[in-house]
Amino acid sequence: MNLEILLILTPAFPLLSFPLSLFFGKRTPGQGAVFGILSSLASLITSTYLFFFAGKPISFEKEWIPGFTSGLYLDELSSVMLMIVSGISLLVNVYSLGYMHGEEGLPRYYGELSLFTGSMLVLVLAKDFLILFVSWELVGLCSYLLIGFWYKREEVAKAAKKAFVVTRFGDSFMLLGIILMYVSNGTLDLVEINSHAREMSSLLIALLLFSGAIGKSAQVPLLGWLWDAMEGPTTVSCLIHSATMVKAGVYLVARLFPYFSESGALPVVAYFGAFTAIVSATMALVEWDIKRVLAFSTISQLGYMFLALGVGSYESSISHLISHSSFKALLFLGAGSVIHAVGSRDMRSMGGLLKAMPITSTGMLIGVLSLSGIPPFSGYFSKEAVMHSVMENGNILLYSIGTLTAFLTAFYSLRMWILTFLGPTKKEIKESPSVMTLPIIVLMVSTATLGLFIHSGGGTPYPLLLAIAGLILSYRYHNAFLRAGPLSTLLSKRYFLDELYDLIGNCFFSAGKALDLLDRQGIDGTVNWISSSTLNIGDKIRRLQTGEIQLYLLLIVIGALVLLIMTW
Amino acid sequence: MSTLLMVSSLLLVIGIYGLLTRNNPILMIISIELIFNGANLNLVHFSRLYNSMDGISLALFSIAIAAIEVALGLGIFLALYKLERKTELRKFRRLSDEEVSA
């Protein structure tokens, strides 16, 4: 079969499913789920085929505007991403059958999921910045729409808005970078940029592009939106805010890796990643919301990926991306299963679910161990690979941050598991239906076996040792950080990050108000004063026109006399 | 010679004065005639002074036009009187802006 056709079909299936489920969803089984499941299954099949049979990079190009060609491009990186996106999309669509059962507006939900899947696939396949940016914004839009699925609740609408605005803030810098790229190099073609990275490299453009990645992948300082995004359905958090969309930033840097390394932006990427990893890991220590713990861990693991990219290890970053997609999707689906059963996201109302939910608890345990980097699960191998490359890079600071984060990760993730599944039973509940446990089982298997395909490099025992220490400590003192006084306040307020956002926002708002005053009172005031005084003078002078003909005559005579005197 | 010029300027001034002070249209037309005649006198005077017939012929034209103008003016006033039943010029203030400003 012609591979180029498959290349187009892969994103075309879900993109086609979007209008179908939106308009005909009400009349089909599962309120549109059938389109979502079938299209993502079709995409999964084509992307698997492409993964195994493409062999060498293939591209499809067409002239859009005369002189500007645009198209799709597939290499190893994008074919891996294709499989992750379509695979997790399929699992989430199936899982939604149980999780979202009986919700209102399901055709909209499935339609938006399909639109998201399609745009994410296009993003991954983009050959040039134009398509990349369009799909980049489309996934942002879908993220906004899906976070705001229960838009009637105010905090949901606010969270959706926040996610959109904050990521958009990063995107505007990215757009600037793209424009600069075109102006200075005359091309937007990613492949061409990479092959001429040395001549085209510019630190400024690389940093601007990285700003877009920061917004999308929730790195410091644009990370606040991701934990608020947990207001959306858990399925959405799983698909968009852990497994796929937030990886777009990592993907962008990975896609332009030659460019970033030539332009010297990689150390910046590394420090941002490391800092984010540890900052968000500490926030998770005192969190009570199960989904937010997972959100913090997502941010933290994304930090690891940027760290790996920053120290120049492209492969370890991508392997961590792959294994993280698997175990984080597993954790989110497990958390969704718990939330579905308990009816709350607060871990204080959970506890003792181990016996009632055997599949979910086993899945979550595997996810937690994988997240903590415990062998033989996939997270161990990929984290080892990341830490190995950091050690090879020789930067002690980055290495110790990464190791410390490994400890914190193990601590908070086991804390989450203990609070959810151990302790006294608070509610009588049952295991979730099989449409929900089946995806969990699939992800359990993949999380347990993916490690076989990852070459870790090995040789750095400290992260593993500290992770085990973290697990043991967490088992004994899982709420230790809650009793830490001012530290716990600082952590549970999330370093006052939202307040900082507000402060910055208010500064700009006040500056805007001052400018507004200057505009309205100063500039407009002058203009208005000129016009109103002209009107006033005109009104005064108008009274001279009395209609008395003899007065006019008198004025004529006086005028003539004045002229006469002047000419004398 | 200058006596004639003085007479003509006197006629002009008297005419202007009458125009500015009288309220009766007939009297105002008469004042206008005075101004005309002052001008005509000037024309004739300077015509004699420079031995040229131009001024005198212009004066003749001017007299004819003045007659037409008087006829026209009287006609307008008659029409006005028919319309408004008054002739005092100060009472015709329709062209003033006072309604608008009030």
The 10s digit of each residue's pLDDT in B66-94 is 999 999 999 998 998 898 888 887 777 77
Neighbouring CB atoms inside 10 A of B33's CB total: 18
Specify if A177 maps to a domain.
yes
% of residues, chain A, pLDDT over 70? 99
Closest CA to A470 of A405, A416, A410: A410
- The answer to the question of residue A146 being in a domain is no
What integer is the mean pLDDT of A8-21?
92
B101/chain A closest Cα distance in angstroms: 8
Q: Are residues A30 and A119 in the same domain?
A: yes
Which domain range does residue A536 map to? 504-567
User: Residue A29 burial by CB count (10 A; 0-12/13-18/19+): exposed, middle or buried?
Assistant: exposed
Chain B: give the shortest CA distance to residue A556, in Å: 11
Q: Do A528 and A556 fall within a single domain?
A: yes
Collect all residues of chain A within an 8 Å Cβ-Cβ radius of residue B32.
none
Chain B residues in contact with A555 by the CB 8 A cut-off are none
Q: Please answer yes or no on whether B19 and A550 come within 8 Å at the CB atom.
A: yes
Distance from CA of A543 to the nearest CA of B (A): 7
Of A216, A234, A257, the residue at which a domain comes to its end is A257
Chain B nearest C-alpha distance from A527 (Å): 25
Residues A539, B90: C-beta atoms closer than 8 Å: no
- Between B16, B90, B100, which is nearest A548 by CB? B90
Asked if B16's CB is within 8 angstroms of A546's CB, the reply is: no
Distance (Å, whole) CA A206 – CA A178: 10
- Of chain A, the percentage scoring pLDDT greater than 90 comes to 57
Q: In 3D, which of A447, A329, A333, A310 has the Cα closest to residue A382?
A: A447
Question: Is B20–A542 a contact, with Cβ atoms under 8 angstroms apart?
Answer: no
Of the two residues A147 and A493, the one the predictor is more confident about is: A147
Q: Which residues of A touch B35 (CB under 8 A)?
A: none
Residue of A nearest to B16 (CA): A557
- Cβ–Cβ gap A550/B101 under 8 Å: no
User: Using an 8 Å Cβ cutoff, are A337 and A373 in contact?
Assistant: no
Is A141 among the domain residues? Answer: no
DSSP characters for A177-209?
HHHHHHHHHS--BHHHHHHTHHHH--HHHHHHH
Q: Is the pLDDT of residue B101 over 60?
A: no
CA nearest neighbour of A438 among A368, A378, A359, A365: A359
> Using the 8-state DSSP alphabet, how is residue A31 labeled?
G
Contacts of A539 in chain B (CB under 8 A): 101
Contact A11, A121 (CB under 8 A): yes
Q: Inter-chain contact A548–B16, Cβ cutoff 8 Å?
A: no
pLDDT in tens, A200-228: 888 999 999 999 999 999 998 888 899 99
- Cβ separation B19–A553 shorter than 8 A: yes
Of B16, B93, B101, the CB nearest to A548: B93
Residue A418 scores a pLDDT above 50: yes
In chain A, residues with a C-beta closer than 8 Å to the C-beta of B93 are: 546-548
The set of long-range contacts for A150-157, using a CB threshold of 8 Å and a minimum separation of 24, is: A150/A231, A150/A232, A150/A233, A153/A231, A155/A231, A156/A231, A156/A232
In this structure, are A97 and A180 located in the same domain?
A: no
pLDDT bracket for residue A457 (50, 70, 90): low
- What is the reported pTM? 0.78
**Which helix H or strand E contains A65, and what residues bound it?**
strand A58-65
Tokens coding A31:
């309120």
Summarised one tens digit per residue, pLDDT across range A462-492 is 888 888 888 888 888 877 777 777 888 888 8
Nearest to B89 among A542, A549, A557 (CB): A549
By C-alpha distance, which of A142, A111, A141, A119 is closest to A24? A111
Shortest distance between the Cα of A525 and any Cα of chain B, in A, equals 26
pLDDT of residue A30: 77
For residue A1, is pLDDT > 60?
Answer: no
Confidence of residue A401 (pLDDT cuts 50, 70, 90): very high
Across chain A, what does the average pLDDT equal?
A: 90
State residue B38's pLDDT score.
93
Number of neighbours of residue A349 by Cβ within 10 angstroms:
12
Residues of chain B contacting A, Cβ within 8 Å:
16, 19-21, 89-90, 92-98, 100-101
Q: Do A547 and B89 touch (CB under 8 A)?
A: no
- pLDDT for the residue numbered A568: 80
Please tell me the distance in Å from B3's CA to the nearest CA on chain A.
22
Tokens of A263: 């332009």
| Yes or no, beta carbons of A553 and B20 under 8 Å apart | yes
Question: Which pLDDT score is estimated for B96?
Answer: 65
A554, B97: Cβ pair inside 8 Å? no
* First-to-last C-alpha distance (Å) of chain B: 56
| Chain B residues within 8 A of A557 when measuring between CB atoms | 16, 20
**Judgement on whether residues A169 and A251 belong to the same structural domain of the protein:** yes
Q: Looking at the partner chain, which of B19, B21, B93 has a beta carbon nearest the beta carbon of A547?
A: B93
Does A543 contact B101 at a Cβ distance shorter than 8 Å?
Answer: yes
Instruction: Determine the average pLDDT of the residues in A383-404.
Output: 89
Residues A305 and A185 in one domain: no
**Is B20 close to A547, i.e. CB distance below 8 A?**
no
Q: Are A371 and A379 in contact (CB under 8 A)?
A: yes
| Phi, psi for residue A58 in degrees, rounded to 5 | -120, 150
| Contact assignment for A550 to B93 by CB distance below 8 Å | no
Give the chain B residue nearest A557 (alpha carbons): B16
Number of domains in chain A: 4
Residue A545 inside a domain? The answer is yes
Q: Does the pLDDT at position B102 exceed 70?
A: no
Would you say residue A498 lies in a domain?
Answer: no
Same domain for A241 and A380, yes or no, is no
pLDDT, tens only, B21-71: 888 888 989 999 999 999 999 999 999 889 888 889 999 999 999 999 999
- What was the pLDDT predicted at A506? 94
- The residue with greater pLDDT, A324 or A425, is A324
Span A139-169, pLDDT tens digits = 999 999 999 999 999 999 999 999 999 999 9
Residue A444 in domain: yes
Residue B17: closest C-alpha in chain A: A554
Q: Quick check: is A493 in a domain?
A: no
- Considering the domain architecture, whether residues A246 and A272 belong to the same structural domain is answered as no
Q: Which of B12, B14, B19 to mutate to test the interface with A (most CBs of A within 10 A)?
A: B19
Residue of A nearest to B95 (CA): A547
Indicate whether A31 and A155 sit together in one domain.
Answer: no
pLDDT of residue A395: 85
Domain identity same for A269 and A252 = no
Task: For residue A137, tell me if it sits in a domain.
Answer: no
Bigger pLDDT: A487 vs A85: A85
Q: pLDDT digit string (tens) for A261-313?
A: 999 899 999 999 999 999 999 999 888 899 999 999 999 999 999 999 999 88
How many domains does the structure of chain B reveal?
A: 1
Exposed e or buried b for every residue in A490-510, given b needs 16+ CB within 10 A? ebeebeebeeebeeeeeeeee
> Residue B38: which CATH number?
1.10.287.3510
Beta carbon pairs, A and B, within 8 Å: 34
A230 band by pLDDT with thresholds 50, 70 and 90: very high
Are residues A468 and A441 located together in one domain of the fold? yes
B47 vs A544: which has the higher pLDDT: B47
Q: Do residues A383 and A438 both lie within one domain?
A: yes
- Select from A277, A323, A318 the least CA-distant residue to A296: A277
Please answer yes or no on whether B92 and A543 come within 8 Å at the CB atom: no
pLDDT one-digit tens code per residue, A346-393: 888 888 888 888 999 999 999 999 999 888 888 888 888 898 889 888
Nearest-by-Cβ selection for B95 from A539, A543, A547: A547
At B100, the pLDDT band (50, 70, 90 cuts) reads: very low
Q: Which residues of A lie inside 8 Å of B (Cβ-Cβ)?
A: 539, 542-543, 545-550, 553-554, 557
Q: What integer pLDDT is reported at residue A302 of this predicted model? A: 94
Contact call for residues B60 and B39 (beta carbons, < 8 A): no
Question: Containing domain of residue B23, as a range?
Answer: 2-101
Q: Give whole-number Cα distances, B68 to A108, A339, B29, B62, B74, in Å.
A: 91, 108, 12, 10, 10
Mean pLDDT of the region A87-109: 91
**Contact: A550, B90; criterion CB under 8 Å:** yes
Q: What are the tens digits of pLDDT across the range A99-121?
A: 998 888 899 999 999 999 999 99
User: Do A459 and A531 lie in a common domain?
Assistant: no
